[in-house]
A = this chain, B = another copy of it.
Amino acid sequence: MAESAGPPAARPTLETVARAAGVSPMTVSNAYNRPDQLSEQTRVRVLDVARELGYPGPDPAGRSLRRRRADTIGVLLTEQLPYAFADPGMVAFLHGVATGLADAGQALLLLPTEGNAEFAHVRNALVDGFVVTSLAPGHPAVADVLGRRLPVVSWGYPRFAGVPRIGVDNARAAAKAARHLLELGHTSFGIVTLGAPGSADSSGVVPGVQLSMGARVSGFLKALAAGGIDPASVTVVGASRNTRLDGFEAARSLVAARLRPTAVFGVTDVLALGVLDAAASVGVSVPKDLSVVGFDDVAAAATSVPSLTTVSQSLFDQGRLAARVVLDQVAGREAEVPPIRTELVVRGSTAKPAS
Contacts and interface: CB of A to CB of B under 8 A. Distances in A.
Interface of A: 54, 56-65, 68, 70-72, 80-82, 84-86, 91-92, 94-96, 98-99, 102-103, 105, 107-112, 115-117, 120-121, 123-126, 147-149, 244, 300, 303-305
Given A60-B123, A81-B98, 12 more contacts: A57-B148, A58-B123, A60-B124, A60-B126, A61-B70, A81-B99, A84-B98, A102-B112, A105-B116, A105-B121, A109-B109, A303-B304
A297 to B, nearest CB: 15
Contacts of A81: 98-99, 102, 108
A340 B72 CA distance: 34
Most B CB within 10 A of own CB, among A82, A99, A117: A82
A98 B82 contact: yes
Contacts of A105: 115-117, 120-121
A5 to B, nearest CB: 22
Most B CB within 10 A of own CB, among A60, A71, A244: A60
Contacts of A59: 65
Q: What is the copy number of this chain in the assembly?
A: 2
B80 A124 contact: no
Contact of A65 (B62, B85, B123): B62
Contacts of A147: 56-57
Given A64-B61, A116-B103, A147-B57, A85 B91 contact: yes
A125 B107 contact: yes
A275 to B, nearest CB: 14
A13 to B, nearest CB: 12
